[in-house]
Amino acid sequence: MTDHSTDETREVLLRATDVHVTYRTYLDGRVGLRRRLRQGLRSGAPRYKDVRAVQGVDLELYRGEAVGLVGSNGSGKSSLLTGLAGLIELERGHVEAVTRPSLLGVGAALNRRLSGRRNIEIGCMALGLSKADVDERMESIVEFTGLGDSIDLPMNTYSSGMRARLVFTIATELEPEILFIDEALAVGDRTFRRRATERIQDMASEASSIVVVSHNLAEITRMCTRVVWLDQGTMVMDGETDEVLDAYKAAFPDDERRDTKKAKRKARRLERGKDKLRAQRRAAHDGEDESSVAPADPLP
Amino acid sequence: MTVSATQTLHPIAGRASLRVYLRQIWDRREFIAAMPRHELHAQNLDTVLGNVWFLLNPMLLTGVYWLVFGVLLDVDRGADNYIPFLMTGVLLFRLWAGGATSGARIMWRNRGLVRSLYFPRSVLPIASALTEVLTFLPGVLILLVVAVSTGETPSWRWLVLPLPILLLSVFTTGTMFFTARLGHKFRDLATLLPHVTRLGLYSSGVLYDPERFTQNDAALLLFDINPLYQFITLARWCVIDIDVNWWFWITGPAWAAALLIGGFLYFWRGEMSYGSKA
């Protein structure tokens, strides 16, 4: 493991010590009312199970670096980033940073019923921009998304790639000092991935620290100087990109095949399947949203 | 370990101190002001009449109540000017009940925003309360028109009307802080709440004047300590000059302040829980 703490020349932007993230998942299956009530009253969540997603990770991020975060599905990458970004409560551990990190996730959408343009406004203002600032930057933001006229359509008509474009643009617009990108680029097309990669490299070479989660090892090699490998919630390795990726590929020879053409096609098919699933899930969610938007008349 | 940081590191995980938190909210004031516009836009995208509903709704509702309670059941018991009396109650009560119910859903409805970006979460209930108040205001104009057309003459008391409305709005915001955190914790609340507010409807003198129904002091005391009854009575005094307990002007603000502060603190203590998926 490379010991970065001895490096005195670089400025630490984030330091995490012994981070533990545990989340609750609901168990499937029939549960009697008595048990529901007992568990529900005690903890607020019936029929759940605790999943210990991250178990004691130490990490330091420096100014001017792009770090790749690799690991198999369910290794705790997203949970770690969510915890470091301060979006969920840590089970244990401590995170300190110069500013709060921005987290860019897959399928993130702010308000699906509203247009891309309105979402840009909401997102930028939530991050603290004034209305005047947003208005001033709006055209360049819209331009960068490359969404054209679709920018005025509601977001629930967007494909996952279009959503990714929009959310990536919002999250990078303020040039956050610490940015986490959780597979958000995977769904974008070639043009957008190239522009996004350029922007990430620009940001890293200037002032930011960026963590990229990706299963595309070629992309990580291109963008990142350092790679962190996570497995079952603990850190396996932290060091130079080539060194870590070689070890990672040796441990998971399957992942390397993704680089071959055949595997790429397979991956795309898989992604389409996932997309479909997400779309279905989204449709179900949207249904819920709509019923909750309808003014519930509190009077009989 | 050597730290070469030129900037100091601050703790990220865990919620901000109250001071910092209030500051963060203040920095988002433009965001709070902009939210209702988007919210109303989203709500009315698929209706034919759009924003006209904010005027039509209170009129239709009062019409139905007047038909049932004023004409069929004769609940007014000879009260003067029952229609504006009823309409004031219905309008104000709807602001509170509607706010409580939408508060219970607000964290769920905005989960996309909450899970993607960091901002002080109480911005959401505050913006939602603002939306409720803004959609309520057109009804007040209708109310005054109805009052005049049923024989009231405009009075200096109308100038005081913003005060009970402000108190009720603050009270509603406080309520929404409570229902927002509870509703995030127990999704069941959104289903349960309409029943609770319905109970509130019958115990807050919305449809009738309790003094025309009972002389029982204990029962009347229950009305008198009910903050909603206080706000509604104060507003009725403004619109149609009914008798009012003058100490409502003291207890009303006290209730509003208590709910606002209590609700805010309760919501703030849960600040870190709103991003979780469970």
Chain A residues in contact with B190 (beta carbon < 8 A): 292
CB contact under 8 A, B90 and A14: no
Q: A148 in contact with B at a CB cutoff of 8 Å? A: no
CB contact under 8 A, A125 and B112: no
Its ipTM equals: 0.75
CB contact under 8 A, A126 and B10: no
What is the mean predicted confidence (pLDDT) over B164-169? 97
Q: A105 in contact with B at a CB cutoff of 8 Å? A: yes
Q: B78 in contact with A at a CB cutoff of 8 Å? A: no
| pLDDT tens digits, one per residue of A242-273 | 999 999 988 877 654 445 555 556 556 666 66
Please provide the average confidence, as pLDDT, over all residues in chain B: 86
Please provide the average confidence, as pLDDT, over all residues in chain A: 78
Q: B180 in contact with A at a CB cutoff of 8 Å? A: no
Q: What is the pLDDT at residue A294?
A: 34
Residue A27 has pLDDT above 90, yes or no: no
| pLDDT tens digits, one per residue of B37-51 | 888 888 776 777 777
What is the mean predicted confidence (pLDDT) over A180-190? 80
Chain B residues 15-74 with a CB less than 8 Å from chain A: 27-28, 30-31, 34-35, 38, 41-43, 45, 57, 61
Give the closest of B5, B12, B201 to A299, CB-based: B201
Three-state helix/strand/coil letters over chain A: CCCHHHCCCCCEEEEEEEEEEEEEEECCCCCCHHHHHHHHHHHCCCCEEEEEEEEEEEEEEECCEEEEEECCCCCCHHHHHHHHCCCCCCCEEEEEECCCCEEEECCCCCCCCCEHHHHHHHHHHHCCCCHHHHHHHHHHHHHHHCCHHHHHCEHHHCCHHHHHHHHHHHHHHCCCCEEEEECCCCCCCHHHHHHHHHHHHHHHHHCCEEEEECCCHHHHHHHCCEEEEEECCEEEEEEEHHHHHHHHHHHCHHHHHHHCHHHHHHHHHHHHHHHHHHHHHHHHHHHHHHHHHCCCCCCC
| pLDDT tens digits, one per residue of B197-232 | 998 888 888 887 887 777 788 888 888 889 999 999
Chain B residues in contact with A12 (beta carbon < 8 A): 3-5, 9
User: What share of chain B in percent tops pLDDT 70?
Assistant: 93
| pLDDT tens digits, one per residue of B79-101 | 678 888 988 999 999 999 999 99
Shortest distance between the Cα of B148 and any Cα of chain A, in A, equals 26
Q: How many CB pairs under 8 A join A and B?
A: 172
Q: What is the pLDDT at residue B17?
A: 86
Shortest distance between the Cα of B140 and any Cα of chain A, in A, equals 18
Chain A residues in contact with B10 (beta carbon < 8 A): 96-98
Chain B residues in contact with A26 (beta carbon < 8 A): 278
CB contact under 8 A, B93 and A299: yes
Minimal Cα distance from B97: which residue of A? Answer: A298
Q: What is the pLDDT at residue A275?
A: 59
Q: Binning pLDDT at 50, 70 and 90, where does residue B266 land?
A: very high
Minimal Cα distance from A62: which residue of B? Answer: B5
Best residue of A42, A51, A61, A125 to probe chain B, by most B CBs closer than 10 Å: A125
Q: What is the pLDDT at residue B193?
A: 92
| pLDDT tens digits, one per residue of B138-161 | 889 889 988 998 888 888 999 999
Q: What is the pLDDT at residue A282?
A: 53
Q: B128 in contact with A at a CB cutoff of 8 Å? A: no
CB contact under 8 A, B4 and A97: no
